[in-house]
Structure 1
Amino acid sequence: MPSLKDIKKRIGSVKNTQQITKAMKMVAAAKLRRAQDAAVAARPYAEKLQSVLSNLAAREEADAHPLLSQRGTSRALVVLMTADRGLCGGFNANVSKEAERFIRANEQGFDDIDLMIIGRKGRDFLKSRLGDKIVKVYENITTDATYKTAQLIGQEVVDAYSEEKYDAVFVLYNAFQSAIVQNVTLEQVLPIQPKEAEEGAEDSIDYIYEPDKAGVLSDILPKMVEVQFFRGLLESNASEQGARMSAMDSASRNASEMIGKLTLQYNRARQAAITKELMEIISGAESIK
């Protein structure tokens, strides 16, 4: 049985840990508000742009621009978005496992599937499972993601697709729903998918290109890819902060329960020690008589 000193020391250790988890929860809560506002604000623009370009892709020929061309299924690229730090529950593991599941399930459909990882934790999780498929890793860009960051990643992906290194590009990230709910989301980025015509709906939308079709497509199609990556980074960051806040809140509550149990154990051990001392005193007094 542990001594009183050992139990008291462990109580102190758990209390120190609890202070850390409470502080981390407060920091995550403060970051969550800003990250959530940014993610929610980006949704309408990203969704409208995607809708417009889906309509545009349905009306243009595949050879109008390289990003519209529907090629074979030779090689694919999956862009996985995770975090650089842990202590956020199943945030990193859930999306990393989905990446592994998707690649395993589609190995027969594609000749080869490469993996581009954003975030250190995704790399750590998958390097022993899919190390041969990881072609690039970006670190320390998820917390303060800017549009310029998404622009650099998007341009790299667009160049690779235009050079026909890949026939399809997917992005995989945690979409923010609430502080306790993050939805693992897989989207096809390239080629840009044409919008399916609804049954009975009239095809009334048409576009006028200024100054010309080639110039407009060359400017707006890569921008859609950049916006999709930017939205993914914002959603992933908000989800990370929400998951971390929830995980630290759970850890703090578990620490409180552990402190209660250890305190009870300490009091029982102390009571047993006092009773033992009293018995020894009484026994000594009786032996003197």
Structure 2
Amino acid sequence: MPSLKAIRKRKTTVQSTQKITRAMKMVAGARLSRAQLRITELRPYAVKVQQVLWEITRDVEQAAAEGGNGPGEAAIETLSHPLLVKRPESRVLMVVLTSDRGLCGAFNATINKRAEREWRDRTAQGQDVQIVVIGRKGRDYLTRRQAPLREYLPGVWDKLDMESARRVGGQILGPFLRGEVDAIYLVYNEFKSAMSQNVVVERLLPSGGPASTTAEAGPAHDAPAEFIFEPNKEALLERLAPMYVDISILRALYESMASELGARMTAMDAATKNATEMIEALTLQYNKARQAAITKELMEIIGGSEALKD
């Protein structure tokens, strides 16, 4: 059995650790409230921007497929935007969003394993995959596995706002506009609740489908919506396409940050509970050891007293 001093020292260490995990839980919980509010406010707007862009591009594709019978349809056929160019996906750029720090449960492990599986599956299909990483945990994980890292973007999590999203967009849009890659995919954790995050692999460019259905997004589009465009679709695409990219990147960053904070709060809560259970077990062990030591001393005293009597 360990000595009383060793048990007391270990108990003190666990108590210090418990104070740290409890403080980290409280900090993550406070930050999570703000992050959850941001993503709740942004998500419907981001989904609607994606839906409107999809409706416009679908009208363009349908008009081009039908060949156009009137002057209006002929004008629609000429609409184009460099961010909407569709090519066979032989070269793919994956943007992986992880955290800079650990102590957040399986948050980073889940996203890293999904990114690795996506990379290996696409490579096996004959696609040329390049990876841009946000977050040190993802960089370290993929570097150890010799993944084709194109770029690492540091400092993104220091300040999350539209400027950060535009900076990320400026780094990843260049290869697509130059024709070096045919598609860009975002790999991130979508926030569901503090205890639940869902890994999402979402195609950012080219935009060719409706927004993913979420609780805030509403029902999926079964029938095309009718829009009135002013001045025209060409001018709208010039503003809407870059806006879609910025909003989609910002949403992914917000989702990932909220998921990280939720995972960290859950992990620190579990660590705090485990520390409490360990302190109780060490207290019981200490009391038993102390009682055994006292009993031993009493037995020695009684034995000495009996020896003197003889």
* TM-score after normalising by structure 1: 0.92
Q: How many Å apart are 1:283 and its aligned residue? A: 1.0
In the other structure, the counterpart of 1:96 is: 112
The answer to whether the aligner puts 1:147 opposite 2:162 as a matched pair is yes
In the other structure, the counterpart of 2:173 is: 158
**Contact conserved, 2:21 with 2:269, CA < 8 A, in 1?**
yes
Q: How many Å apart are 1:70 and its aligned residue? A: 1.6
Q: How many Å apart are 1:219 and its aligned residue? A: 2.5
Question: Secondary structure in 1 aligned to 2:100?
Answer: coil
**Contact conserved, 1:76 with 1:110, CA < 8 A, in 2?**
no
In the other structure, the counterpart of 2:98 is: 82
In the other structure, the counterpart of 1:243 is: 263
Residues 86, 202 of structure 1: CA spacing in aligned structure 2 closer, same or farther, 3 A cutoff?
closer
The answer to whether the aligner puts 1:121 opposite 2:141 as a matched pair is no
Q: How many Å apart are 1:180 and its aligned residue? A: 0.6
- Distance in 2 between the 1:25 and 1:204 partners? 45
- Distance in 2 between the 1:110 and 1:244 partners? 37
The answer to whether the aligner puts 1:189 opposite 2:210 as a matched pair is no
**Contact conserved, 1:154 with 1:222, CA < 8 A, in 2?**
no
Q: How many Å apart are 1:206 and its aligned residue? A: 4.8
Question: Secondary structure in 1 aligned to 2:92?
Answer: strand
- Distance in 1 between the 2:277 and 2:83 partners? 56
* TM-score after normalising by structure 2: 0.86
AA of the residue aligned to 1:192: S
- Distance in 2 between the 1:110 and 1:224 partners? 29
The answer to whether the aligner puts 1:112 opposite 2:132 as a matched pair is no
In the other structure, the counterpart of 2:251 is: 231
- Distance in 2 between the 1:273 and 1:27 partners? 43
AA of the residue aligned to 1:208: F
Instruction: Pick from 195, 205, 214 the counterpart of residue 226 of structure 2.
Output: 205
- Distance in 2 between the 1:276 and 1:21 partners? 39
Question: Secondary structure in 2 aligned to 1:145?
Answer: coil
- Distance in 2 between the 1:121 and 1:34 partners? 24
Aligned residues: 283
RMSD across aligned C-alpha pairs, in angstroms?
Answer: 1.8
Question: Secondary structure in 2 aligned to 1:165?
Answer: coil
- The CA deviation string for residues 22-48 of structure 1, in whole angstroms up to 9 with x for no partner, is 011111111001000001100111000
Question: Secondary structure in 2 aligned to 1:226?
Answer: helix
Q: How many Å apart are 1:218 and its aligned residue? A: 2.7
- Distance in 2 between the 1:2 and 1:140 partners? 47
Residues 155, 110 of structure 1: CA spacing in aligned structure 2 closer, same or farther, 3 A cutoff?
farther
- Structure 1 segments unaligned to the other structure (5+ residues): none
Range moving further from structure 2, 279-288 or 61-70? 61-70
**Contact conserved, 1:29 with 1:242, CA < 8 A, in 2?**
yes
**Contact conserved, 1:56 with 1:194, CA < 8 A, in 2?**
no
- Distance in 2 between the 1:10 and 1:208 partners? 70
In the other structure, the counterpart of 1:35 is: 35
- The CA deviation string for residues 114-170 of structure 1, in whole angstroms up to 9 with x for no partner, is 1111111111222111x3411111223225311111011113322221111111110
Question: Secondary structure in 1 aligned to 2:173?
Answer: helix
The answer to whether the aligner puts 1:24 opposite 2:24 as a matched pair is yes
Question: Secondary structure in 2 aligned to 1:12?
Answer: helix
Residues 20, 264 of structure 1: CA spacing in aligned structure 2 closer, same or farther, 3 A cutoff?
same
In the other structure, the counterpart of 1:171 is: 186
